[in-house]
């Protein structure tokens, strides 16, 4: 019988391989996917006939009823239900998804193949596509992105089992691991992304599954576990490129099972080809071809560094990431002093250090900014879990007999080598990355990084520990309810009644700004679409890191064609663009000069001017709908 996580791994890997294969054949369309799904079903049927394996697991209702009567599983189930409800009620509002993850898939589907998009915003091209290939069939057949959250709901439901399997195989007592398998998913990053379209938590489940099956293969030495571990490891790199640093501890874990591969050469060759196609290798190859850099960072205008790497830059980034991780993970879920904190960070940072930080990383990381309310873009473990783990660390230090150094012989043990490789990989990411909000990028490894604390000699029957855990669950649930992306309370109605928009109280004004912007972001360009002539099926677009996905709605009704700021009038006419939406603010920031002069040089005329507030932290931006001859 196949377990749900094995089915999930193979399903995700298959869709990734199908996406790249159909692109190579120029058949990324409904017919191509229909054939691919039929081939997949036939392959599954043949495999089932040959092996006699039951594909779908048996559902034991009595077993699940007994399990979810217990406090911790019931709390997890409530969190999952709240996350599902939020995702079902609201269209996606995540900025990264609207700016490049969703639009890039729509560009590929319009071209019926993966393509290098002509654009100034190179994240559309350079970022890995492991999550996107799972969304492509949804966009194609259902013409909406409203179902994408289901990928994260499934991942969230699979998360406790992965945590338990990894923890127990790395030496944590089953009883302690049982508590943590339910408690870890209450971390703000996990639970907030469960109803979202972000890919960090999705990648976290695949990463933990890669380690789980690597450890299973290490213990049991069978080919099926090795296959599942290899595919999960390939997928974790396809979801997030920097997960490549986790391949070293993964390889150490699965090393004893590699001796099985030469015994089945044909199956091994098929596995290698399948895993390679489902991994980040295709994206790395096209990036290398385009700019000679497999990461693609040379092509990105909004770089997370943009300077030649050296020891000082790496040290700065390591320092900034450590400080940001500590602050982000220990900050309360509601932090009304966010602006005061930001002002304090600016005031106490020496001028030269601040200049160096801003030159080598995004401003959010350089200034160690903290939001007033934890959101999916910044959430990590969260203040509750972090405080509980800090308490367990203090317990471990006080009862020093449980803290023994491994000694010279101990450093050659598997566990020590594994954790050394894991921490080395994390350190590399922190030295190379200058992106804001690093707390969510480490969701795949938090349970592993704090693993030595999880037994810690603490008696889990003690009432204080259990009460603390229940408070953590309660705060996580409240955070899901008040999340501005998907509020499960009548936020706008209450704020309107309080006249928050015109209130003199800063927090009320800020709440109005945040909730109102999120309430409109999913369809932020609705006012623009209303002004378009009905016959317009090709719309030019010139912007940078904006929620382009809203311009495609309803999916399949029009195609968005990017215009680069240096494109001439002849290039625009060659693309058969008659109407275009252009960000005047971006043209000014990009050094393209006066907007009117830019438009006049291309013989365009302005039809409409829009003032759109697409980000809560920025003033309204000026957009113009123009027509070219």
What's the pLDDT tens digit per position in 226-263?
999 999 999 999 999 999 999 999 999 999 988 888 88
Angle (nearest 5°) at CA 549 between 547 and 552: 135
Token digits for 131?
């999550």
DSSP designation for 400: G
Angle (nearest 5°) at CA 13 between 9 and 19: 150
Confidence at residue 327, expressed as pLDDT on a 0 to 100 scale: 93
Token digits for 250?
């993964």
The answer, yes or no, to whether residue 303 has pLDDT greater than 50, is no
Q: Which whole number is the average pLDDT over 56-73?
A: 76
Q: Work out the burial of residue 541: count CB atoms within 10 Å of its CB; fewer than 13 is exposed, 13-18 middle, 19 or more buried.
A: buried
Token digits for 518?
């999120």
The answer, yes or no, to whether residue 328 has pLDDT greater than 60, is yes
CA–CA separation, 306 and 287 (whole Å): 16
Q: Which whole number is the average pLDDT over 94-120?
A: 96
Answer for the pair 579, 536: CB distance below 8 angstroms, yes or no: yes
Q: Which whole number is the average pLDDT over 156-161?
A: 97
Instruction: Classify 483 as helix, strand or coil.
Output: coil
Average pLDDT across the chain, whole number: 89
Q: Which whole number is the average pLDDT over 606-612?
A: 93
Dump the DSSP string for 101-158: IHHHHHHHHHHTS-----SS-THHHHS--TTHHHHHHHHHHH--STTTHHHHHHHHHH
What's the pLDDT tens digit per position in 162-189?
999 999 999 999 988 999 999 999 999 9
What's the pLDDT tens digit per position in 512-543?
989 999 999 999 999 999 999 888 999 999 99
What's the pLDDT tens digit per position in 459-516?
555 677 788 899 999 999 999 999 999 999 999 999 999 998 888 888 888 889 899 9
Domain ranges of the chain: 1-58, 526-627
Q: Name the fold adopted by 526-627.
A: D-Maltodextrin-Binding Protein; domain 2 (3.40.190)
pLDDT-based confidence at residue 306 (cuts at 50, 70, 90): very low
Confidence at residue 592, expressed as pLDDT on a 0 to 100 scale: 52
pLDDT-based confidence at residue 2 (cuts at 50, 70, 90): low
Confidence at residue 590, expressed as pLDDT on a 0 to 100 scale: 53
What's the pLDDT tens digit per position in 108-141?
999 999 999 999 999 999 999 999 999 999 999 9
Confidence at residue 593, expressed as pLDDT on a 0 to 100 scale: 58
pLDDT-based confidence at residue 456 (cuts at 50, 70, 90): low
CA–CA separation, 471 and 477 (whole Å): 10
Q: Which of 411, 318, 336 is nearest to 373 (CA)?
A: 336
Cβ partners under 8 Å of residue 34, min gap 6: none
Answer for the pair 283, 234: CB distance below 8 angstroms, yes or no: no
Beta bridge partners of 607: none
Q: What are phi and psi of 569, to 5 degrees?
A: -60, -35
The answer, yes or no, to whether residue 410 has pLDDT greater than 80, is no
């Amino acid at each position: 019988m196949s377990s749900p996580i094995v089915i999930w791994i193979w399903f995700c890997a298959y869709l990734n391989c199908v996406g790249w294969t159909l692109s190579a054949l120029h058949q990324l369309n409904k017919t191509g996917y229909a054939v691919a799904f039929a081939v997949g079903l036939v392959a599954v049927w043949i495999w089932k006939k040959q092996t006699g394996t039951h594909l779908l697991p048996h559902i034991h209702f009595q077993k699940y009823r007994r399990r979810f009567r217990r406090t911790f599983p019931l709390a997890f189930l409530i969190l999952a239900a709240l996350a599902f409800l939020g995702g079902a009620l609201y269209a996606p509002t995540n900025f990264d998804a609207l700016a490049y993850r969703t639009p890039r898939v729509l560009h590929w589907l319009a071209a019926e193949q993966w393509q290098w998009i002509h654009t100034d915003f190179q994240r559309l091209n350079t970022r890995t596509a492991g999550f996107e290939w799972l969304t492509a069939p949804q966009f194609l057949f259902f013409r909406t992105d409203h179902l994408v959250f289901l990928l994260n709901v499934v991942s969230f439901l699979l998360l406790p089992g992965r945590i338990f399997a990894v923890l127990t195989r790395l030496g944590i007592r089953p009883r302690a691991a049982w508590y943590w398998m339910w408690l870890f998913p209450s971390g703000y990053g996990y639970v907030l992304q469960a109803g979202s379209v972000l890919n960090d938590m999705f990648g976290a489940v695949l990463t933990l599954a890669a380690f789980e099956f690597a450890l299973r293969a290490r213990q049991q030495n069978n080919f099926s576990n090795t296959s599942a571990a290899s595919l999960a490891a390939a997928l974790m790199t396809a979801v997030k490129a920097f997960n490549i640093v986790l391949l070293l501890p993964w390889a150490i874990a699965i090393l004893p099972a590699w001796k099985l591969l030469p015994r089945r050469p044909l199956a091994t060759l098929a596995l290698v080809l399948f895993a390679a196609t489902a991994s980040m290798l295709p994206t790395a190859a096209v990036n290398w071809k385009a700019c000679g850099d497999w990461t693609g960072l040379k092509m990105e205008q909004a770089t997370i560094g943009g300077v030649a790497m050296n020891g000082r830059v790496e040290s700065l980034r390591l320092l900034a990431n450590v400080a940001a991780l500590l602050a982000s993970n220990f900050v309360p879920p509601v932090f009304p002093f966010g602006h005061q904190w930001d002002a304090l960070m600016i005031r106490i940072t020496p001028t030269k250090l601040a200049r160096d930080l801003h030159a080598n990383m995004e401003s959010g990381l350089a200034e160690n900014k903290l939001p007033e309310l934890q959101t999916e873009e910044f959430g990590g473990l969260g203040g509750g879990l972090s405080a509980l783990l800090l308490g367990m660390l203090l317990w471990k230090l006080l009862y020093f007999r449980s803290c023994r150094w491994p000694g010279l012989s101990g450093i050659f043990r598997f566990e020590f080598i594994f954790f050394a490789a894991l921490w080395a990989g994390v350190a590399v990411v922190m030295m190379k990355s200058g992106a804001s909000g690093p707390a969510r990028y480490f969701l795949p490894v938090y349970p592993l990084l704090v693993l030595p604390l999880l037994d810690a000699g603490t008696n889990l029957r003690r009432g204080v520990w259990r009460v603390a855990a229940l408070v953590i669950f309660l705060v996580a649930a409240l955070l899901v309810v008040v999340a501005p992306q998907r509020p499960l309370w009548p936020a706008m109605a209450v704020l309107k009644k309080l006249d928050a928009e015109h209130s003199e109280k800063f927090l009320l004004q800020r709440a109005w700004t945040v909730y109102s912007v999120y309430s409109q972001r999913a369809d932020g360009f609705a006012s623009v679409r209303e002004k378009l002539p009905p016959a317009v099926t090709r719309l030019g677009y010139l912007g940078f890191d904006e929620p382009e996905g809203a311009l495609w709605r309803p999916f399949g009704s029009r195609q968005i064609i990017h215009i680069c700021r240096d494109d001439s009038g002849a290039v625009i006419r060659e693309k058969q663009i008659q109407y275009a939406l252009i960000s005047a603010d971006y043209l000014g920031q990009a050094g393209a000069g006066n907007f009117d002069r830019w438009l006049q040089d291309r013989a365009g005329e302005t039809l409409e001017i829009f003032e759109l507030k697409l980000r809560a932290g920025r003033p309204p931006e000026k957009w113009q709908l123009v027509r070219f001859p």
